[in-house]
Structure 1
Amino acid sequence: MTVITKKDEKIAATAAALGENFSPDEFVEKFKELHPKDWEKIERNFRKHERDTKPGKSHPMPEPVQYIKNALNVWAGKRK
């Protein structure tokens, strides 16, 4: 299941808005600014996973900030 649609395009647009040298944390903040509805969707999806997971078990979705950082890393890896 895809949490956000057109993820690569949105990651690319966010990176382009920041220019060349930016930190992962700056990227997360810019993503929130440019794509607030997608950010809400990521948070909502994470909370749903948290609710649906039995106590003592883990679920596969990382925390929202880490989710976006991972998406950035995957996107950057595809560009090489």
Structure 2
Amino acid sequence: MSVISKKAEKIQATVELLDSEFSFEQFLAAFQAQYPKDWEKVKREYSKHERQTKPGKSQPMPAPIQYMRNALNVHLKASKPS
């Protein structure tokens, strides 16, 4: 289950707001402005996973910024013409 509901749609909507040559930082700022509750949920879920991870074990969820970077990369790869 995805941390963000309708993640693909929200990533697409955010990308559509930006210029074609946007940076990840611009994308992240736009996503945070457009979907502040979803951004807070990503951070909250990461913290929850961190608390539940036993010492010596690796955290199963990427850090919030990396989570968003991965989501953007998946979107860009899927929308690239073949």
Normalised-by-shorter TM-score class: over 0.9
Does 2:17 correspond to 1:8?
no
Q: 5 Å matches for 1:18-29? A: 18-29=18-29
Q: Report what 2:38 is aligned to.
A: 38
Matched-pair identity in %: 55
| Offset at residue 19 of structure 1 (A) | 2.0
1:51 paired residue number: 51
Verify: 1:73 aligned to 2:65, yes or no: no
**Aligned AA for 1:62?**
P
- Divergent runs of 4+, >4 A: none
TM-score (norm 1): 0.95
TM-score (norm 2): 0.92
Match for 2:24: what amino acid?
A: P
**Distance in 1 of aligned mates of 2:58 and 2:47:** 13
Flag structure 1 segments of 5+ consecutive residues without an equivalent.
Answer: none
Q: CA deviation at 1:56?
A: 1.7
Work out the CA distance in 1 between the residues paired with 2:65 and 2:27. 10
RMSD (Å), alpha carbons = 0.8
Structure 2 residue runs of 5 or longer lacking an equivalent are none
1:53-80 CA-to-partner distances (Å, cap 9, x unmatched) read: 0112112211101100100000111112
Structure 1 CA distance, aligned partners of 2:70 and 2:45?
16
The residue aligned with 1:61 is: 61
